[in-house]
Amino acid sequence: MIGVGTAVPAFSYSQRELLDIFGITDPRVRSVFLNSAIERRFLNLPPALPDGTRRMETQGELLQKHRTHGIEMGARSLQSCLKQAEADIDDVGYLCCVSSTGFLTPGFSALVIRELGLRPECARLDVVGMGCNAGLNGLSAVSGWARAHPGKLAVMLCIEACSAAYVFDGTMRTSVVNSLFGDGSSAVAVMAGEDEREGPALLKFASCIVPEAIDAMRYDWDDHEGKFSFYLDQDVPYVVGAHAETIIGDLLAGTGLRRDDISHWIVHSGGKKVVDSVMVNLNLTRRDLRHTTNVLRDYGNLSSGSFLFSYSALVDEGTVRPGDYGVLMTMGPGSTIETALIQWRPGDGPRFPVVPG
C-alpha cells in the first residue's frame, strides 16, 4: 500500500446544528444524535426553502446527488492518493470503485476515468451495494490484480455520499441511521514487487459472514416514502462483537502471530456500540482504537471508506516502525466481517510468506 488519500464535502455540521436545522424537538431523537460519540459530520444537506426549512429530496434527486458529489469527492481523493504514491494519472492500470449510496450504470469507475482522464485501457471494477465492509472486499480484488501485474499500479476508490441515502420520517429507526453517517471518499494505491516506496505489505485476508443475521443490516425499498431506506438492527453490535475473535483467529492462523504481536488496529468506525463491542471482545484498549474513534467523532460513519480515513491518520501520526504488524477490519451487511493482515516490512522481508487473498 504505497499511498492513501481522502476527501470530504466543503461543509460540516455538529450534531446539535443538524437537530436545529431540521427542527427536531423529540427528546428521544435528540438523545440519539447527542449521545452518538459523533461531534461533526461532512454532509451535502437538502436544499433550503425560503422559510429556512429543508426540502426533502426525491429518490431521483438523491441519485443525482450520489453521482455529482461522488465524482467530485472521488476525483479529489484519488488525486491526493496518487500524489502520496508519487504516481501520475497515466500510471493507474486498474481502478476499483466501491459504493453503496446509490446506483449508476455506467458506474463510478467509468465516470472517474472520464473525469480525470485516466487511460482508456485502464482495467476497472465496480463493487456496489456491499455496504460498510466493502472496502476490504475491494482491496482484496485490487491486491489480487496487483499481484498478477507486478510493477503496475492498482487503486481502490471508495465513494460514499451518505447524504444521498436517507429517509426522514421521524421514526427511531431512521433517526438512528440519520444520526450516524457522513459523506466522504478515500483511495489507496497498491503495487506488487515495489521495494522503494514506503508502505505496508498486504499479507493475508480473512472473511466471515453470519447468514442467520443477514437481515440485521440492509438497504431496501420503502414503498411509503418512495425511497431506498437503510435498516440497522439494534443487535448489530453484539453480532459483530460475538464473531470478532473468531475472524481474527482465522486471520492469524498459520502465521505464527498472536494478537499481542499486532501493533496497529484499524477498525471500521461503525458506531459507538459497534466499536465498543469489538474493543471488549478483542481485549483492545482505547489507544488501540484511537484512530477509529477519532474518525467517528470528526466524520461519523463513512461507510466503506471509513477504515482508510483511520489508516491515513495512522500514517500521518508517524509512529509506525519497520516490521510492525497491523490489522484492518470492516463490518457490514451480511452480516459480514472482513479483515486484512498488513506489515511494514523490515529489511529482510516478512516473517512468513505472503498468502493470496
pLDDT range class, residue 195, cuts 50, 70, 90 = low
User: Do 53 and 20 touch, CB atoms closer than 8 A?
Assistant: no
**Contact criterion met (CB below 8 Å) for 180 and 271:** yes
* 8 Å CB contact between 181 and 162: yes
Q: Which residue has the cell 420520517?
A: 169
pLDDT at 354: 41
Mean confidence (pLDDT) of the chain: 93
Distance CA(247)–CA(133), nearest Å, equals 14
356 pLDDT above the threshold of 80: no
Mean pLDDT of 235-263: 95
Q: What is the pLDDT of residue 290?
A: 98
pLDDT tier for residue 142 given thresholds of 50, 70 and 90: very high
Instruction: Give the torsion sign (CA, 134, 135, 136, 141).
Output: positive
The bridge status of strand 227-232 relative to strand 217-222 is: antiparallel
What pLDDT shows up at residue 352? 42
Nearest Cα residue to 270 out of 228, 304, 246, 245: 304
Catalytic residue of the set 81, 96, 122, 132: 132
User: In the predicted model, is pLDDT for residue 224 greater than 90?
Assistant: no
- Band of the pLDDT at 78, cuts 50, 70, 90? very high
Task: Mark out the alpha helices in the chain (DSSP H runs).
Answer: 15-21, 27-34, 59-84, 108-116, 134-148, 172-178, 236-252, 272-281, 290-299, 306-317
Question: Could you read off the pLDDT of 91-120 as tens digits, one per residue?
Answer: 999 999 999 999 999 999 999 999 999 999
Domain segments of the chain as ranges: 3-192, 200-344
Has residue 170 got a pLDDT over 90? no
All residues at 6 or more sequence positions from 115 whose CB lies less than 8 Å from its CB, including other chains: 71, 75
C-alpha cell belonging to residue 346: 523490515
CA atoms within 13 A on the CB side of 350: 19
**Known catalytic residue at 97:** no
**The Cα angle at residue 89 between residues 141 and 79, in degrees rounded to 5:** 85
The tens digit of pLDDT for each residue in 6-25 reads 999 999 999 999 999 999 99
Region 307-329: what's the mean pLDDT? 96
CB within 8 A of 319, min separation 6: which ones? none
Q: pLDDT higher for 280 or 347? A: 280
CB atoms closer than 10 angstroms to residue 312: 24
Of 144-153, 168-177, 217-226, highest mean pLDDT: 144-153
Residues above pLDDT 90, as percent of the chain: 85
| DSSP string for 125-179 | EEEES-GGGHHHHHHHHHHHHHHHSTT-EEEEEEEE-GGGS---SS-HHHHHHHT
Assigned superfamily of 3-192:
Thiolase/Chalcone synthase (3.40.47.10)
Classify domain 200-344 at the CATH class level.
alpha beta
Report whether pLDDT(349) > 60: no
Q: What is the structure's pLDDT at 231?
A: 87
196 pLDDT higher than 80: no
Same fold, 3-192 and 200-344: yes
Q: In this predicted structure, what is the pLDDT of residue 194? A: 61
Rounded average pLDDT over 182-193: 96
What does pTM read for this prediction?
Answer: 0.94
Pairing of strands 184-190, 153-160: antiparallel
What is the b/e burial string over 155-183, where b = at least 16 CB atoms within 10 angstroms of the residue's CB? bbbbbbbbbbbbbbeeeeebbbbbbbbbb
For the cut 80, the answer to whether the pLDDT of residue 347 exceeds it is no
Report how far apart the first and last C-alpha atoms of the chain are (Å, whole number): 15
H/E element holding 38?
none
3-state helix vs strand vs coil in the chain, percent to 5: 40, 25, 35
- Using an 8 Å Cβ cutoff, are 248 and 284 in contact? no
Counted residue by residue, the chain has a size of: 357
